[in-house]
Structure 1
Amino acid sequence: MSFGFSVGDFIGAIELVNKIRKEFVNAPSQLKAIGDEVRGLSIVLGDADVACAQETLNDKQKKKLDGIDKSCRDVLDDLQQILDQNREVVSGSRGIGKRVVRVWKRIKWDPEVINELRSRITSNIALLNAFNGEFTRDNMVKLVHHQDDQERQAILDWISSVDFPSQQKDIISRRQDGTGLWLLDSEEYKAWSSLKGQTLFCPGIPGAGKTILSSIVVDDLNARFRDDESVGIAYVYFNFRRQEEQKLEIILAGILKQLLQSRPSLPESIKALYSRHKQDQTPWPTAETPKELRSVIALYSRVFIVADALDECQNEHRTNFLSGVFDLKADTELGLFATSRFIPEITSRFENSHRLEIRAREHDVQKYLRGHMSRLPACVQRSHEIQEAIVAKIVTAVKGMHLHLESLVGKRSLKAINTALKRLETPEHTTGKHATVSEAYDRAYDDAMERIKGQVKDSSELAEQVISWITLACRPLTTLELLHALAIEIGESELDKTNIPELEDIVSVCAGLVIVDEESNIIRLVHYTTQEYFERTHPRWFPKAQTGIANSCLTYLAFDSFETGPSRNRDEFDARLVDNALYGYAALNWGHHARLASIEADTLILSLFESQAKLSSSTQVIIVAAEINCPSQDDAKKMIGMHVAAYFGLQNVISSLLEKRQDPDPRCHNGRTPLSWASEEGHLEVVKMLLAKPSVNVNSKSSARAEFNKVRGYYHRGMTALMLAAMRGHERIVELLLQTGKVDKTITYKDGRTALWYATENGYSNIVSLLQDEV
């Protein structure tokens, strides 16, 4: 403990004061007053001991209490010494069993001595009372601050659930020390970071290190302005695997959240919005984001926004994002740092901005390679000469991009390493031109896959499963999700946990192509180009991967543990997802994998549909993912196989269900029909099949109690299939619906909005024309 004090140190003082109190029993009358003072000291020492045992003391409090404790011990020791001098031992009785007692000597006490001791005891009582009062007040203040902090965090999480800081920690942790300094030392960066309202655009080829450099910029800004509350910093790492998080309203809300986190207190306007929406549990009103963002930016003297990998954002959202940011720049002195590949429609937006191309600098590549030599075999680590030869070869081969050591990892001889190094050299084509960047990467990844294929069968199959799951998953997977996925045995009724592989083995068998982001616990491929490579080549390496993933998901959903049906409440639902790590992913995505694998009529699908308990357990996940509240068990049971097949676009399953004479137009918990689900999701062939059934009502509206869709950002209340298709931009489906001649285009949403209004609002001009032509 700081200052040598701990709460336990009170025990000695308390034991001593209690011992002295007992000795004052039957004391002479002139000692009664000092006995009362000792009793008072005993009480306040006990109070301080209890209070401090329940709370953590800061260094200042420890120092103060250490002094009081020492003073108490001193006066008690002096008092004990005087007591010992003025008491004597006598026999308390005669004969067998007599006992020895201490009695007071018949002397006259010196009043000055007694008064001096009383004064010292009283002084310590006053000090302890003052400390106890101050300690209590401080704890009350801490409690109030804690409650304020809890509400503050609740408001911030309400605005946005995206955790950009954890992404920053993940990325910057992969930086090799000493790299990226060329960017920070460049004149372009110095000018951008020192002048207000500047834009610095940094394009680069794949693998140039753009994302790491963006994290270095964020790290530099955070370090430089850490103690300056007048400077706001926000950042966005675009990632094509996180498309649901990268819509304009979500991105801007994430930026707003970051800028609010740096403020000492939240604006009253934000608190007022939270108060209005808290009772109804409605989401952050995205329409308020631009206004609140401008207001918060105005609170700072400077604001920086770092936007990495614009090319990984979907075109529509990227266009809206850049327009929104440039609008903000026009009204504020916002500083923007952005990276992207060389894509004309992106680079053209930065024609009037400062520009600095990102290329892998030789110094950085050397630093990275030397920092990762430990991954190579012992024959390399023992020879400095071989290490330098490897560095020289790779530095020559990279041509402005970071070629990692993956093609050398796993080699066990110098000959194998030299062969791999020769393949890294960019060869001349017959035309005399150099190989493209993509071809250079492909050779490195081809080599890695050949090494994986060359492993023993179990290791090779495990690596292929790992890479196929990571490559084809609809979103990034956590390590626990992947471990459960790999342990599934098709057709089994439960997960055998002894079949779960070790994470270290998973990483090891993948020849350096897979890493774990420790901050987010996401397992991913080592680089964006690795993901890109396997998306192009997975039919060659893993031709049946989609089928395997779909069957694994379906097997997981059919486990006996889900025979109990949907959860009764949100706590049970959350516990189910925790206990069954892959359940959430499997329920939300099995149909996407099945559709892509063309196994829509597979036995496993129909088997799931025949079990109402297991099917409704999985549909509860779909509903919770889209809606704010957890549906009741009855609501979950109302979303049946026909709805699910339409939602995922499984036309062969729809065909099988119709052949079994199932109702093509059932209504689920929020009054939606299969046609409604298929129209919203854009499944054209399913819409055709449903429209061919005379009993399908094309004008069916969702119910008035339909929940807010937190993924899409709108309510489903009172909406028709035409409205949903028009809102989502599904032109061919709008055409099909209109061609039936049965659609009522005048049907309105509760506030008077029609399908035409939604198409106009979202900028779908072709759909607007279709709807107007039909008027």
Structure 2
Amino acid sequence: MADPLSIAASIAGLCGLTIQISQLSYHYFSALKSTSDNQALFIQELSALTSVFLRLRQATQIDGLDDIIGPRQPVISKTVIEDCKKRLEKVKVVLERKARRSMEKEMKETVEMLHRFHAVFASALATDHFNVSVAGLKELRTMTSAKERNELGNWLSPSFTPAPLSTFIEKLCEGTGSHLLNCKEYLAWRDGAEGLLWAYGRPGTGKTPESGRIPLLQRGTMNETLDGFLRHLAVQLLDQDDHVPEDVVNLWKKGKSTNSSLLPDEIISIISSTVNNTSVAYAVLDGLDKCPFLAKLAKLLPKLSKTGLKIFATSRDLSDIRKHFDKSSHVEISATKDDLAHYIDWRLQEESEVDYDLMPQSFKSDLTSAVVNHVDGCFLLARLVMDHITSLTTIKKMRQALESPPVDYKEAYGRTMERIAKQNAGRKTLAVKVMVWICYTKRPLTLEELQQALATEDGEEEIDPENVESARSLLSCCLGLVVLSKADLTLGMVHETAMNFVRATDIVHDVEPNLLISQTCLTYLSVKPMREGFCEKIEDLQSRLQHLPFLNYAAHFFGQHLKATTKPYPRS
């Protein structure tokens, strides 16, 4: 058997290696125009292997058990460890070099390799005497019943489903954003004792996309209440671990017996216990300037950071927020000129209607320089300008567009809306409907949900599959104002300011938004399958939800939209 200290160091090294590969693969796959089944399997197997390494690492670092179990360690041969390390390093090199052909060619083999090593290390973890001894000793600190685990999760979860963050992970421009990940403040926060890092910047400078580049983060949503925020964060952290700490279990049992509510300090203690049960835990709080309970949260942030949870918070640089972070580590986020130049050239290569290779180098240089100087560090404005320029069909038209670019993102939104209005009637109508649904629904809709909603017609008993709009149509008609998340396939506006702009613009003249949505929900709830009555078996309900993708939203939120209408509901 290998030396225990050697095994512990090797496991820690493999754990760090898989985390690095996770970071590299995030950037690699984000840059691809489409993803394959093998790529999805790669991510799945890599995540599973990382989880096993984290558990093995934890097993080799347990304190206070030496007198009970002795020096035993998980039985893993040195040869297996070295072979795994060698193969993982090869994958890392391929990703670092962005060797797309090599990666795609060997993807299936790589997936099989990850699966094989996962089975080997998981087997060692599950059957080893050391692990069994630890499991026996920590019986009170774990929950073996799936039913109990679900009950605890329901007890701790917020009373409402939190709206996901507006973090729409699209195809990212590789090579941008490195200034944040390499700056001394970020590195000190990531690797040192610093528990809180505040990243601030003007609207549209890329705060949310920058936070999305940081892997392995739990995300705290700016919900309606502090209690909901803390509960949601605690649930996310608990979901990452197979074991529930003993004091969390005791708190749950106490709350269940007394039917008492959790206090903020008690939820923080749950977060603390869960974080202490893992090697490291990160959380990102995006958009503090939109937080309705900022003053209360600010008072608790020091306590949260002392739990061992590393917190990355983003917001605009406002005095009401800065006063809470003056003594904390902070860094300004702004698009550098190099980032903007790289982004502009990338957009020309990827999306321009004019062939990139036919553009004179002098023109590309002039265009890049003009846009970089005009947008003054605002990624959002650069994006909106490039949305228009890449849609033009000649170099002359592109030059003309550069002569009078929009002065800010508000003017850019206005110009985009004008171009939407000039489209043919069908595309204009579709664009308006898409934006109304995105801006007025109670939670982000998935692509399939929105497709079903738009295909719903009054008087029809079924959804006609020939009336379902394609994803390409839904996105293209909005001329860049609407984006599709690769992470969860939800649709959203390109930025929060775009949503505010649409809501302030009277784009719907014939019907009030909440009335339109409530009518659609009611019609969808009346389709033929729903007239068959209630589902007697859970399997039947699951089948109905699967075949009627918009049913979940319609059933949950029909009443809320109806209540919010400002016009009388029409009687049929």
- 2:154 equivalent to 1:183: no
- 2:275 equivalent to 1:323: no
Which one of the candidate residues 499, 504, 508 is aligned to 2:476?
508
Contact 2:220 2:233 in 1 (8 A): no
Distance in 2 of aligned mates of 1:534 and 1:543:
16
Q: Structure 1 residue 339: deviation in Å? A: 1.0
Change over 3 Å in CA distance of 1:511–1:202 after alignment to 2? same
Which one of the candidate residues 295, 301, 311 is aligned to 1:336?
311
- 2:262 equivalent to 1:294: no
Letter aligned with residue 387 of structure 2: E
Contact 1:188 1:354 in 2 (8 A): yes
The count of residues paired between Structure 1 and Structure 2 equals: 431
Distance in 1 of aligned mates of 2:406 and 2:146:
56
Contact 2:220 2:283 in 1 (8 A): no
Letter aligned with residue 323 of structure 1: K
Contact 1:238 1:312 in 2 (8 A): no
Q: Structure 1 residue 476: deviation in Å? A: 0.3
Contact 1:470 1:524 in 2 (8 A): yes
Contact 1:407 1:447 in 2 (8 A): no
Letter aligned with residue 378 of structure 1: V
Q: Structure 1 residue 206: deviation in Å? A: 1.0
Distance in 2 of aligned mates of 1:304 and 1:507:
33
Letter aligned with residue 412 of structure 1: T
Alignment partner, residue 617 of structure 1: none
Letter aligned with residue 344 of structure 2: L
CA offsets 1:65-108 (integer angstroms, 9 cap, x no match): xxxxxxxxxxxxxxxxxxxxxxxxxxxxxxxxxxxxxxxxxxxx
Alignment partner, residue 15 of structure 2: none
CA offsets 1:702-730 (integer angstroms, 9 cap, x no match): xxxxxxxxxxxxxxxxxxxxxxxxxxxxx
Distance in 2 of aligned mates of 1:491 and 1:551:
12
What secondary structure, in the 3-state scheme, does the structure 2 residue paired with 1:337 have? strand
Within a 5 Å distance, the mapping from 1:272-421 to structure 2 comes to 288-299=266-277, 304-313=282-291, 315-316=292-293, 318-329=294-305, 331-332=306-307, 335-373=310-348, 374-379=350-355, 382-385=358-361, 386-402=363-379, 403=381, 404=383, 405-421=386-402
What secondary structure, in the 3-state scheme, does the structure 1 residue paired with 2:180 have? helix
- 2:202 equivalent to 1:235: no
Within a 5 Å distance, the mapping from 1:122-161 to structure 2 comes to 141=127, 154=150, 158=154, 159-160=156-157
- 2:167 equivalent to 1:199: no
Contact 2:200 2:314 in 1 (8 A): yes
CA offsets 1:162-211 (integer angstroms, 9 cap, x no match): 999x979x756643212112123323323333431443322211111001
Q: Structure 1 residue 469: deviation in Å? A: 1.2
Alignment partner, residue 584 of structure 1: 552
Segments of 5+ residues of structure 2 without an aligned counterpart are 1-75, 81-119, 136-142
Q: Structure 1 residue 261: deviation in Å? A: 5.3
Q: Structure 1 residue 478: deviation in Å? A: 0.7
Contact 1:577 1:584 in 2 (8 A): yes
Q: Structure 1 residue 156: deviation in Å? A: 8.4
Contact 2:460 2:527 in 1 (8 A): yes
Distance in 1 of aligned mates of 2:493 and 2:145:
37
What secondary structure, in the 3-state scheme, does the structure 2 residue paired with 1:177 have? coil
Change over 3 Å in CA distance of 1:238–1:294 after alignment to 2? closer
Contact 1:178 1:367 in 2 (8 A): yes
Alignment partner, residue 422 of structure 1: 403
CA offsets 1:646-686 (integer angstroms, 9 cap, x no match): xxxxxxxxxxxxxxxxxxxxxxxxxxxxxxxxxxxxxxxxx
What secondary structure, in the 3-state scheme, does the structure 1 residue paired with 2:491 have? strand
What secondary structure, in the 3-state scheme, does the structure 1 residue paired with 2:173 have? coil
Contact 1:155 1:274 in 2 (8 A): no
Change over 3 Å in CA distance of 1:596–1:273 after alignment to 2? closer
Alignment partner, residue 51 of structure 2: none
Change over 3 Å in CA distance of 1:261–1:569 after alignment to 2? closer
Letter aligned with residue 219 of structure 2: V
Alignment partner, residue 531 of structure 2: 563
Greater gyration radius: 1
Alignment TM-score, normalising by the size of structure 1: 0.49
What secondary structure, in the 3-state scheme, does the structure 2 residue paired with 1:201 have? strand
Change over 3 Å in CA distance of 1:175–1:156 after alignment to 2? farther
Distance in 2 of aligned mates of 1:496 and 1:516:
24
Segments of 5+ residues of structure 1 without an aligned counterpart are 1-59, 65-133, 223-233, 427-439, 605-775
Q: Structure 1 residue 455: deviation in Å? A: 2.1
Letter aligned with residue 177 of structure 1: E
Change over 3 Å in CA distance of 1:271–1:199 after alignment to 2? closer
Change over 3 Å in CA distance of 1:541–1:410 after alignment to 2? farther
Letter aligned with residue 234 of structure 2: L
Alignment partner, residue 268 of structure 1: 246
Determine what percentage of the aligned residue pairs are the same residue. Answer: 26
Alignment partner, residue 480 of structure 1: 448
Letter aligned with residue 511 of structure 1: L
Change over 3 Å in CA distance of 1:581–1:171 after alignment to 2? closer
What secondary structure, in the 3-state scheme, does the structure 1 residue paired with 2:417 have? helix
Letter aligned with residue 375 of structure 1: E
What secondary structure, in the 3-state scheme, does the structure 1 residue paired with 2:532 have? coil
Contact 2:354 2:394 in 1 (8 A): no
Distance in 1 of aligned mates of 2:260 and 2:269:
17
Q: Structure 1 residue 340: deviation in Å? A: 0.4
Change over 3 Å in CA distance of 1:153–1:455 after alignment to 2? farther
Q: Structure 1 residue 520: deviation in Å? A: 0.7
Contact 1:207 1:528 in 2 (8 A): no
Q: Structure 1 residue 365: deviation in Å? A: 1.4
Letter aligned with residue 294 of structure 1: S
What secondary structure, in the 3-state scheme, does the structure 2 residue paired with 1:176 have? coil
Change over 3 Å in CA distance of 1:563–1:379 after alignment to 2? same
Q: Structure 1 residue 500: deviation in Å? A: 1.0
Contact 1:471 1:531 in 2 (8 A): yes
Change over 3 Å in CA distance of 1:185–1:205 after alignment to 2? same
CA offsets 1:106-133 (integer angstroms, 9 cap, x no match): xxxxxxxxxxxxxxxxxxxxxxxxxxxx
Contact 2:244 2:274 in 1 (8 A): no
Change over 3 Å in CA distance of 1:156–1:591 after alignment to 2? closer
Alignment partner, residue 126 of structure 1: none
Distance in 2 of aligned mates of 1:173 and 1:535:
24
